[in-house]
Amino acid sequence: MDDLILLHGALGHPGYFDWYVGQLSSFFNVHTPAFAGHAQTAFPSSPLTIGIYTEQLRAYCEANRLQKVHLFGYSMGGYVALAYAAQYPDQVKSVLTLATKLEWSPDVAAKEVAMLQPDVVAQKVPRFVAALADTHGPAQWKGLMTAVSGMLEHLGAHPELTDEVLQTIQTRVQLMVGDRDNMVTVAETYRAAGKIRNAGLAVLPDTVHPFEKMDRELLLLLMMRFFNKEKI
């Protein structure tokens, strides 16, 4: 069977994919690695960047002897998937992204970072913080949020996926975005799809940004239709 790697978003974790793994495992060898610093894994020795996570994905594929993989990435995971496809085109069969923000600048990053202040988040959204503490560890979630903020600032100043890089991607790609996503717009996703030679675009109806609020049956259908085109 083909290998399918599911990549979670920033502050997310592989457990988001448990239901999907159960549905997909009859068709693919499904992999759900955790990005460094997430799900109580160790932080890398250097500050978090998309480049570090792209290298982590390469190392994971090498360690597990995975070649010509399918990649699904949610939010940040989609950004890493596209960066990996750009750097290692011979190692990727296809890339499907969901709710991935592809237009970054210092101003965009500053807006996102403003919403990732641990003490403010703890005061305003205690239930969210409780979930973060349970997933990433009571002593680690604040450090992770701060590290993610630094990563976004770096991404805003030094985007990995410039127009020039997107235009080099030869892999079959589909970018998906929800019509009610308050972080990623349909317009920016449409523009990004137009820069990738073999990219399609899907707009999911009545869909917001958080992964746990996705219509699971709809997303599974879109995943199966997209990835199975490579299997027919």
* CATH number of the CATH domain containing 17: 3.40.50.1820
Is 113 inside a domain boundary? Answer: no
Phi, psi of 31 (to 5 degrees): -120, 140
Quick one: pLDDT band at residue 131, thresholds 50, 70, 90?
Answer: very high
Assess whether pLDDT exceeds 70 at residue 231: no
Rounded Cα distance between 68 and 93, Å, is 5
pLDDT at position 232, please? 36
Quick one: pLDDT band at residue 229, thresholds 50, 70, 90?
Answer: low
Residue 92 carries which side chain, given as an amino acid letter? Answer: V
Assess whether pLDDT exceeds 90 at residue 101: yes
Rounded Cα distance between 20 and 217, Å, is 9
- Furthest-apart CA atoms within the chain: distance in Å: 51
Mean pLDDT of 40-47: 94
Helices then strands, each counted (H, E), the chain: 10, 6
Phi, psi of 73 (to 5 degrees): -130, 130
Is 47 inside a domain boundary? Answer: yes
Is 149 inside a domain boundary? Answer: no
Rounded Cα distance between 116 and 160, Å, is 21
Residue 48: count of CB within 10 angstroms of its CB: 24
Is 91 inside a domain boundary? Answer: yes
Indicate the average pLDDT of the chain.
Answer: 96
Phi, psi of 209 (to 5 degrees): -80, -45
**Domain tally for the chain?**
1
The secondary element (H helix, E strand) that includes residue 228 is helix 216-228
Helix, strand and coil percent figures for the chain, each rounded to 5: 50, 15, 35
Range of the domain at 99: 2-103+159-228
Is 136 inside a domain boundary? Answer: no
Tokens of residue 168, six digits = 């080099």
Residue 208: count of CB within 10 angstroms of its CB: 15
8 A C-beta contact, residue 29 and residue 1: yes
Mean pLDDT of 147-161: 98
